[in-house]
Amino acid sequence: MEATASVDSKKVHQEKIKQIYTEVNKVVVGQKYMINRLMVGLFTQGHILLEGVPGLAKTLTVNTLANVLHLDFKRIQFTPDLLPADLLGTMIYNQKASNFEVKKGPIFANLILADEVNRSPAKVQSALLESMQEKQVTIGETTFQLDRPFLVLATQNPVDQEGTYPLPEAQVDRFMMKVHVGYPSKDEELEIMRRMSNMTFDSKVDTILTKDDIFAIRNEINSVNLSESLEKYIIELIFATRDPQAYGMKEEAHYIQFGASPRASINLNLAAKAIAFLEGRDFVLPEDIKEVAPDVLNHRIILNYEAEADGITTHDIINTILSKVNISMVK
């Protein structure tokens, strides 16, 4: 009886997920790939780093998704003069009560859009990333648990790098995926122009999921079957980033300074399960792993200066790894 109820619950949730795309597309044209990755992050408790030029609807997409999911959303513009207290909150003195009170910052929300996260110095970045990891904030002597779900969606502009503070590799590693947001197609941009130049355009959307639905979906994703052979396949992919020469990639070995961390294998496992669930399956295919591998690995493989000189990118390395390492190698 419980198994039947579980199957029915999954079908209901998968149908609601289809409705999420429909609702978001009322406001956002295209960007299905970005929306998909945002939902993968939301349903697996993984933070997302979005990279793309300005004007690609990153903020609009996140805001619309928050409304569809009935979650509290805050946008924080990261600037060089931003302080940790501007993000987390601070203690203020109440003259009437003659005591200090806590004034919470914008970090106390479900969805946080950290816009241009690399525009603020290390202290602010560290404050944000500590919240991401610990899911809590300490102000004065009091520690506050952040409301669940809690998801940070940070953006970076790859064009203008003047006056930026690049995130250290150890901090970037805390993001589940780094998603490259591309330009829309001609048809999509035509629709964007028509829609956004209409001053009577209505951007209202219906709420589809509640917090309880999100937690239930997380449990359902957790029960998606990932076979032992696919688990070992993930490990082979990760180890190929660390020792490519052992996998017959001598040329690539000259370009890789550091391979992916153990967080990569964890996140690749979770992301593949989420992709399978979003596709309506209760089991993972090798194609699911290959689909999300570039997003999980592209910010975790650190290349040397020789790679930059030769025009080699992390995507080139990942594509080679995916072509060289296959599931038949798993023992």
Q: What is the pLDDT of residues 230-286, one digit of tens each?
A: 999 999 999 999 998 888 888 888 889 888 999 999 999 999 999 999 998 889 999
168 assigned to some structural domain? yes
190 assigned to some structural domain? yes
Phi, psi for residue 102 in degrees, rounded to 5: -90, 130
Q: In angstroms, what is the C-alpha Rg of the chain?
A: 21
Domain shared by 162 and 79, yes or no: yes
Q: What is the pLDDT of residues 71-126, one digit of tens each?
A: 888 888 888 888 888 888 887 877 777 777 778 888 998 888 888 888 888 888 88
Q: What is the pLDDT of residues 171-226, one digit of tens each?
A: 788 899 999 888 888 898 898 888 888 767 777 888 888 888 889 999 999 999 99
DSSP line for 244-313: GGGGT-HHHHTTEEE---HHHHHHHHHHHHHHHHHTT-SB--HHHHHHHHHHHHTTTPEE-HHHHHTT--
Domain shared by 99 and 231, yes or no: no
Q: What is the pLDDT of residue 275?
A: 95
Q: What is the pLDDT of residue 1?
A: 46
Residue matched to tokens 């080679």: 320
Q: What is the pLDDT of residues 279-330, one digit of tens each?
A: 988 899 999 999 999 999 999 999 989 888 888 899 999 999 999 988 877 7
Domain shared by 154 and 18, yes or no: yes
Domain shared by 29 and 94, yes or no: yes
The first and second tokens of residue 237, run together, are 């992919």
DSSP line for 121-179: -HHHHHHHHHHHHHSEEEETTEEEEPPSS-EEEEEE-SS--TT--PPPHHHHTTSSEEE
Domain shared by 141 and 34, yes or no: yes
298 assigned to some structural domain? yes
Domain shared by 177 and 94, yes or no: yes
Domain shared by 166 and 234, yes or no: no
Domain shared by 141 and 241, yes or no: no
228 assigned to some structural domain? yes
What's the domain range around 55? 2-196
The first and second tokens of residue 111, run together, are 């969805």
Domain shared by 142 and 253, yes or no: no
Q: Mean pLDDT across the chain, nearest whole number?
A: 86
209 assigned to some structural domain? no
Helix (H) or strand (E) holding 190: helix 186-196
Strand-strand pairing, 142-145 and 136-139 = antiparallel
211 assigned to some structural domain? no
Domain shared by 16 and 154, yes or no: yes
70 pLDDT more than 70: yes
| Mean pLDDT, rounded, for 12-38 | 86
The CATH number of the domain holding residue 285 is 1.10.8.80
Final residue of a structural domain among 178, 196, 214: 196
314 assigned to some structural domain? yes
Q: What is the pLDDT of residue 95?
A: 75
175 assigned to some structural domain? yes
Domain shared by 60 and 180, yes or no: yes
Structural domain count, the chain: 2
Domain shared by 249 and 153, yes or no: no
The CATH number of the domain holding residue 20 is 3.40.50.300
